[in-house]
Structure 1
Amino acid sequence: MTTARLQRLAALLERSVVVLALAALAFRATLYGSLPRTAGAAYGSADVVDFALALLLFALCTACGGVGVMLSLRASSDRERGMSFRPALVGMSTFVIYYLLHPLVPSLAPVTTP
């Protein structure tokens, strides 16, 4: 891959990571409590969706960080090398921020149990 193509991919991944993190937190705040959970069950369908969103976010953050590392290895000047750490920083910091905020987000929807 060329450096220009990697930079476009990095920009796309950065945006995707931030949007998915915000969407996952919005799901946790709004729809998480409204999805039904079987009485006595440890996990419900909302937990499965929440886990899938977190797993997808982790995969995108890893890809974003990997593209940042690839850009830093292919950088030919100091300016390019300095800008190449942005995707890695966005990928790592977004997942850490999501991990810390996730349990603190209150559910705005009422919890339903059949």
Structure 2
Amino acid sequence: MEWTKLETADQLENIKNKKGYSLIFKHSTRCSISMMAKRRFEMDWDSLPADMPLYFLDLIKHRDISNQIAQDFSVYHESPQMLLIKDGECVLDQSHSSISVNEAVSVMA
């Protein structure tokens, strides 16, 4: 699997309009906790559907997109944070050590 960098408002709009699931991982490149959560997520991401879009947001570079995510999906900004989006709605919001591929898979089941 591969990350798609989330860098524009247009990409975010496409995620909101997409049918089915997408996943957004918000990451701070300055935070060791965020690095550990990302590494743990990547170790398990093969459990996700192979065709599922995975978006990676560097929130240090793109804080405006992070703020838009919080507003559009009615979530509190955290870092690291994983959002599972289905048909334009956030169906799972996890942060820090709660980030779990298994939980995302169970929500999709």
The TM-score, its normalising length taken from structure 1, stands at 0.28
Which fold has the larger relative contact order, with Cα–Cα distance below 8 Å and residues 6 or more apart in sequence? 1
The TM-score, its normalising length taken from structure 2, stands at 0.29
Structure that is richer in strand per residue? 2
